[in-house]
Amino acid sequence: MPDLLQIGGITDTMRDRLEAEFTIHKLADGTYPADAITHIATNGHDGVPSDVMAGLPNLKMVSCYGVGYDAIDTKAAADRGILVTHTPDVLNAEVASTTILLMLASFRNFLADEAHARSGNWEANGNAPLSRSADNRKVGILGLGRIGQAIADKLEAFNAEIHYHTRTKKDVDYTYHANLTDMAAAVEVLICITPGGPSTNKIVNADVMNALGSDGTLINVSRGSVVDEAAMVAALQDGRLGYAALDVFEAEPKIPDALKTMSNVVLLPHVGSATVETRAAMGGLVVDNLLEHLKNGKVLTPVPETAHLNG
Ligand code: NAP
Ligand code: 8YV
């Protein structure tokens, strides 16, 4: 059987299917037969460390559990003829739901209200303070791709006025902004849902957050690297930015202590796609890609940078 290197965890279902076709070695165990490894199963967080990829002379394919693959050097892979796959589309609706939950939690002060009810504060001290309506807002989406569009679709129910910024204008009726700071100035909510990596590194900088303003809400479900985290903390601390609702952080699982004490901030531990149903679909696609490659050398969902190697 061919040899597969497992980086990070996999589900029991994934293991059962993979064990029938591969001999599995775990990077975490420290030793593996480098010359024999032809396939890798990894995830968007762990990716493939460059020294590990460089040390596998017969690597042919990498299957990533997650749509974001910024932790994998796909150029190095493409240069060596290594196919890389990811899990697009199967998580669009889930990540969009998480984004809406973050927006509702922030605007409606949901978590503080829940604590007010649960703690007995309602009885002891009276009504909770009023919150902000999440309806009829101007929302700017940074990255109108598969998930960005799913977010826009769900925002229709809240009668949102949708704006977006991408590098190329899309064939949609929303308001396009070629400049991100201009979009931030035009909206009340900025939702980040681009890929990570060099082209988006800290593109939500102090200027963008100042433009969003003291009543503005920043929602990040993309990658921590997309937002200048230190500038965000400073903007929230001195009131230049009103609110933040965050699923992703620069140095996960570390979250800056300053954010944890702010009442105008909602924090999640990178759970955008983390439901039983969606993770099962993602895991299924990770394995389907590996098995398809074993069968005929092709894959189902290559990342664009290696798609030319598929076939
Ligand atoms: P996608 O379909 O490839 O869409 C990406 C969008 O971002 C496109 O509209 C693209 O348009 C835009 N974009 C790319 N680079 C840009 C740049 N430098 N400046 C402005 N816009 C840029 O990707 P997707 O499937 O929607 O996934 C998006 C990302 O969400 C993933 O890569 C991942 O990082 C993140 N994600 C997070 C979670 C979570 O759990 N929080 C879950 C899933 C995904 P242009 O190419 O025209 O610029
Ligand atoms: C995963 C994600 O949690 O798909 C992505 O890009 O960020 C999430 O769905 C991540 O890939 C960890 O494996």
Q: Is the pTM of this model over 0.85?
A: yes
Ligand closest to 204 (CA) is 1
Helix residue ranges per DSSP H, 156-226: 180-186, 206-212
Which residue has the least CA distance to atom 29 on ligand 1?
A: 195
* Residue 222 near ligand 2, beta carbon < 6 Å: no
| CA distance linking residue 265 with residue 263, whole number of Å | 5
CA–chain centroid gap for 227, Å, is 13
CA dihedral 139, 235, 253, 201 (to 10 degrees): 70
Q: Where are the beta strands (DSSP E) in 158-262?
A: 161-165, 175-176, 189-192, 217-220, 243-246
Number of H helices, E strands in the chain: 12, 12
What pLDDT sits at residue 311?
82
Burial of 127 (0-12, 13-18, 19+ CB in 10 A): exposed
- pLDDT for 28: 97
Q: What is the pLDDT of residue 250?
A: 98
Q: What is the pLDDT of residues 33-52, one digit of tens each?
A: 999 999 999 999 999 999 99
CB of residue 283 inside a 6 A radius of ligand 2: no
List ligand 1's pocket residues with C-beta within 6 A.
Answer: 67-68, 88, 91, 95, 143-148, 165-168, 193-196, 199-200, 221-223, 247-248, 270, 272-273
Q: What ligand has the least distance to the C-alpha of 178?
A: 1
47 sits in the region (left: phi over 0; alpha: psi -120 to 50; else beta) called left
CA distance 31 to 34: 9
Check pocket membership of 47 for ligand 2, CB cut-off 6 A: no
Nearest to 160 by CA among 170, 148, 171: 148
Confirm if 21 and 41 have CB atoms less than 8 A apart.
no
CB distance 219 to ligand 2 below 6 Å: no
Q: How far is the CA of 95 from the centre of ligand 2 (A)?
A: 10
With a cut of 50, which residues of the chain have pLDDT below it?
none
Mutation test residue for ligand 1: of 166, 180, 282, the one with most atoms within 8 Å of CB: 166
Catalytically annotated residues: 223, 252, 270
The structural domains of the chain, ordered by start, are 3-89+276-309 (3.40.50.720), 92-267 (3.40.50.720)
Closest CA to 137 of 192, 215, 211, 203: 215
**DSSP secondary structure letter of residue 225:** G
Q: How far is CA 102 from CA 59, 111, 189, 220, 297, in A?
A: 40, 10, 11, 9, 41
- From the CB of 45, is ligand 2 less than 6 Å away? yes
Does any ligand 2 atom lie closer than 6 A to the CB of residue 67? Answer: yes
Q: Is 270 left (phi over 0), alpha (psi -120 to 50) or beta?
A: left
Neighbours of 278 (CB within 10 A): 20
The closest-lying atom of ligand 2 relative to the alpha carbon of residue 86 is 4
Ligand nearest to the CA of 66: 2
CB 218 within 8 A of CB 168: no
Tell me, in angstroms, the distance from the centre of ligand 2 to residue 196's CA.
11
